[in-house]
Amino acid sequence: MLIMGITNPKGVKRYICAAFPSACGKTNMAMMTSTLPGYKIEVVGDDIAWLRLDDKGQLRAVNPESGFFGVAPGTSKKTNPIAMQTIFKNTIFTNVAETSDGGVWWEGIDKKYGEGVTITDWKGSPWTPEKGTPAAQANSRFTTPAGQCPIIDPAWESPEGVPISAIVFGGRRPEGVPLVYEAYNWAHGVFIGASVKSEATAAAEFKGKVVMHDPMAMRPFLSYNFGYYLAHWLEMQDLAKGHPMPRVFHVNWFRKSPEGKFLWPGFGENIRVLDWMLRRIDGEDIAIPSPIGLLPKHDSINLDGLGKVDLDALFDIKRDFWMKEIDELETFFKQEVGADLPPAVQKEMDDVDRRIKEMKQ
């Protein structure tokens, strides 16, 4: 779960957490270079957040790590210039390719190696593009000290943690799931987190493009009864002593067209979605209800300078898709949680199921 600070053009700073399955863009989001003017991004952490309520009931987050552990392939000056600046020195690279002049290389780095330079792939064999295999392992990584990141937040080592205004869940969903939607309430947000699914990546043990469950983006790390874990999330609202809980959102940067093209440009353009979230936190009336949550009102996402984006496709909610989604989720909960599923989560699932069935064909 990443932790990032976002200061809007009015100078108001808020912190958000975001939980995505591995290799789904946590580091890119935490180190985002905003394409909207006036926004300032600072990173507290890109991987783990320890959450706790302070004496006033405010949820706070601490980054317990001293560095960043990011996926190398696809990282470049175009996709994540801040990461590229951060890993320039004092960095451990694992399973990347090596260049004969002492450098590193991976697919998507957008860096041409010099004339006469040869490459050794991650298995230690000579490599050329004609070989037909990746030079770097798909889950190769960089490990680098957080303190040398140029946008590290001043409070990144604060033992009190930073106050959290929103929690964002998400995953790789090529179809059916909107770009962004907001939970109706805290219990609905817990349900949304529990229902996270994502297309498998190189960081998962599954092969191929299977969409797998990854509740709270914690599936590989849950070390006790999942039902108890969800109950603990629900209990936090009572322990907050009336203090407002963070808003909960779900994002999907990875929805594709029928032709297999990404519908949203992602990376620094994601600030446009975060801008909508921050305005919702500030109480702006820019959302409309849907069966699965609150969606942005028409024209409420700032698209200035972006070019053509098919918002209808990005926010399309198909009844048949979501009926199958809920049926499959109910089976998953019965198999993995059983009688320990908190009644509040069951109620939220039943409510979503009812609203979906009430949709017009």
Cα 88 from chain centroid (whole Å): 25
Quickly tell me which residue has 């960089």 as its tokens: 142
Name the token pair of 86: 């951060």
- Give the active site residue among 6, 24, 31, 200: 24
Bridge-based pairing state of the strands 247-251 and 162-170:
parallel
Q: How many residues does the structure list for the chain?
A: 361
Does 24 qualify as catalytic in the annotation?
A: yes
Sign for the pseudo-dihedral over CA of 41, 46, 50, 51: positive
Name the token pair of 24: 């789904």
User: What are the Cα distances from residue 48, in Å, to 68, 143, 183, 263?
Assistant: 10, 14, 23, 29
Element (H, E) at 104: strand 104-105
Name the token pair of 92: 């451990």
Residue pair 242/355 in contact (Cβ under 8 Å)? The answer is no
Distance (Å, rounded) from C-alpha 2 to C-alpha 24?
A: 12
Residues marked active site are found at 24
